[in-house]
Amino acid sequence: MAKQNKQTAGTFRDGIEGRIKVVSVLLFLFGAALIARLAFLQIIQHDTLVAKSEKQYLSTVKTHFGRGIIYDRNLNELARNVETESVYINPSEIFDRKATARILSATLKLDPDQVRKKISSKKHFVWIKRKSPLHEVAELKKSGLSGVGYVSEQKRFYPKRELAASVLGFVGMDNQGLAGIEHAYQAKLKGATFRQVMERDARGRNIQPVEGLRNSNLRNYDLALTLDEVIQFTTEYHLKKQVEHFKADSGMAVVMNPHTGEIYAMANVPQFNPNRYGAFPQQVWKNNIIASSYEPGSIFKPIVAAAALDKGLARPQDIFFCENGKMEIGNVHIGEASDHKFGWLTMRDIIAKSSNIGAIKIAQQVGREPFYEYIRKFGFGEKSGLSLPGESKGQLKEQKAWNKLSLASISFGHEIAVTPIQMVSALAAIANGGNLMEPRITHSLIKDGRVIEQFKPEKIRRVISEKTSRQLVEILKSVVKTGTGKKAALEGIDVAGKTGTAQKYNTKTQSYSKTEFISSFIGFAPADSPRLVILVMIDNPKGLHWGSVVAAPVFRQIAKKALRYLNVPSSKERVFILDRA
């Protein structure tokens, strides 16, 4: 019996030990699996899990601060930033969705259907309105709505509204420059982007911002332009007034310093307000002075005269027979723009009276290849180098592609398309003694109130000799004194310039219109010591269309006020100053 009990006890102990071994093995395997799992989670999937964790409990919102200020040449602000607030919602926190939607849409002036759609979202963070006006936000905060939050941001603001809008451009909601200088200098002006982190609870509700914005005034660079606010306003005012008076489609005007290439004014009409650019048609945003090209008409005649004089192929007093107003090349009959029937004219009078046939005779004297060479030297057929986006190089056929009529047509500004900036740069070369200067719209880069880079004048090349320049100045003075440009004359200050009236080419009919014209005047003053070159172009004026009547008076008004503003004395004032000295 005792023996049997002993055997039973041994069997029991063996069973217990076996179970312990099994449990130990199971515990060991469980522990090993747990350690392996922890290692997998902590080491291999660490980054993935952290990202998921942050997504679950944190919401990151990008905000933009400190975009660089844009100034005119005298450091008057043309573009700056204003403090604003953006409104967001957490739909899960909104108790009365109908009432909240009604208040949000009414206060923030939003589409009610769009607001209701956003409130129905399953997301925990939804923008309602970015960069809202502060008065709207202040009114909304009075409502004390649940589930509505606010984030501080800065908004781009153009204090002068339409002034120089086509030059400045505008920025998008995320402070990205979308047009003009804002786009061209995005890398310098962009400011700083901050990430505002919003802490969330287990249900995804926003609790509070846990990381505020630092250095909210930080910005990369400020930028000063060559524009002068006063001259820009004067130019826009008189151009707009004339476009409206003649019910024209559009108008353009440029004011340049001929010696440095600095642009003091660049105006386009119709205008737009960059503070609310989306309210205007996209075609109005376009800076036609650089982006569009036009057949220049008679304002191109000084180019053929320059080629003839510089090559020594003609002199100002040389005479040419102008065929009594009618000329035939091939099967094409060419006449004068007006009803004049000119006989013999000097080169001076051909330009002063704007004879098409006379210009053809000068071009024939120059020849195809030399004429083409000078057109290229003056910068036509290539971009000017101006630091604005979207510049066109115009349209100039290779000389080998010219037909029998090309030499004649181009001599008086047809069969070639130029941009206004090319045209004003070319006349500046005539005015300044013969050098083609690179046009400039940027004056300097500024950091922390200190100029760190100043953009200097750049000479591209010499185009004509100083002698040729002086001869052309005298010829162009006669245009204003005795020729077609009398309405551009200034009291006490000599003006040199040229009128132009170009028929617009109809691509549908492939012929020149008899009712639509580009009216223009280009000139500089004072003629013998030029401070300003000014181009005025008015597209499709109604009624009268001659450049002498439509564009020349605008030149006169701009030049008169700009020269007075720049303290340029008249001839009488110069005599008085010398007498006093």
Residue 6 pLDDT level (bands cut at 50, 70, 90):
low
* 420-471 tens-digit pLDDT: 999 999 999 999 999 999 999 999 999 988 999 999 999 999 999 999 999 9
pLDDT reported for residue 508? 78
By the 8 A CB rule, do 79 and 164 touch?
no
Angle at 115 between CA 111 and CA 117, to 5 degrees: 120
Mean residue pLDDT of the chain comes to: 87
* 264-289 tens-digit pLDDT: 999 999 999 999 998 999 999 999 99
Q: What percent of the chain has pLDDT over 70?
A: 84
Q: Is 205's pLDDT higher than 70?
A: no
Of the candidates 384, 486, 487, 391, the one whose C-alpha atom is nearest the C-alpha of residue 428 is: 384
Mean pLDDT within 3-8: 54
Quote the tokens at residue 209: 């911002």
Residue whose tokens read 């009291």: 491
pLDDT reported for residue 65? 73
Mean pLDDT within 546-554: 95
Mean pLDDT within 18-45: 67
* 122-144 tens-digit pLDDT: 887 888 888 888 888 888 888 88
Q: Is 291's pLDDT higher than 80?
A: yes
Count of CB atoms situated within 10 Å of the CB of 440: 22
Beta bridge mates, 288: none
Supply the DSSP symbol for 493: B
Residue 216 pLDDT level (bands cut at 50, 70, 90):
very low
Mean pLDDT within 401-424: 96
pLDDT reported for residue 579? 53
Residue whose tokens read 């339409």: 162
| Position with higher pLDDT, 29 vs 274 | 274
Which of 5-19, 30-44, 76-90, 222-236 holds the top average pLDDT? Answer: 222-236
Mean pLDDT within 88-97: 83
**What is the C-alpha to C-alpha distance for residues 229 and 397, in angstroms, rounded to an integer?**
38
pLDDT reported for residue 199? 54
Q: Is 51's pLDDT higher than 60?
A: no
Count of CB atoms situated within 10 Å of the CB of 274: 28
Residue 338 pLDDT level (bands cut at 50, 70, 90):
confident
**What is the C-alpha to C-alpha distance for residues 520 and 298, in angstroms, rounded to an integer?**
9
pTM, entire model: 0.83
Q: Is 240's pLDDT higher than 70?
A: yes
pLDDT reported for residue 142? 86
Mean pLDDT within 469-478: 97
| Position with higher pLDDT, 43 vs 337 | 337
Residue 54 pLDDT level (bands cut at 50, 70, 90):
very low
Residue 211 pLDDT level (bands cut at 50, 70, 90):
very low
pLDDT reported for residue 513? 84
Q: Is 245's pLDDT higher than 90?
A: yes
Residue 90 pLDDT level (bands cut at 50, 70, 90):
confident
Residue 11 pLDDT level (bands cut at 50, 70, 90):
low
| Position with higher pLDDT, 126 vs 258 | 258
Sign of CA pseudo-dihedral 464, 465, 470, 475: negative
Mean pLDDT within 205-218: 46
Residue 50 pLDDT level (bands cut at 50, 70, 90):
low
Of the candidates 259, 257, 313, the one whose C-alpha atom is nearest the C-alpha of residue 434 is: 259
Mean pLDDT within 335-350: 89
Of the candidates 385, 378, 392, 379, the one whose C-alpha atom is nearest the C-alpha of residue 290 is: 392
pLDDT reported for residue 201? 45
* 106-116 tens-digit pLDDT: 888 888 888 88
| Position with higher pLDDT, 378 vs 216 | 378
**What is the C-alpha to C-alpha distance for residues 252 and 535, in angstroms, rounded to an integer?**
8
Q: Is 215's pLDDT higher than 90?
A: no
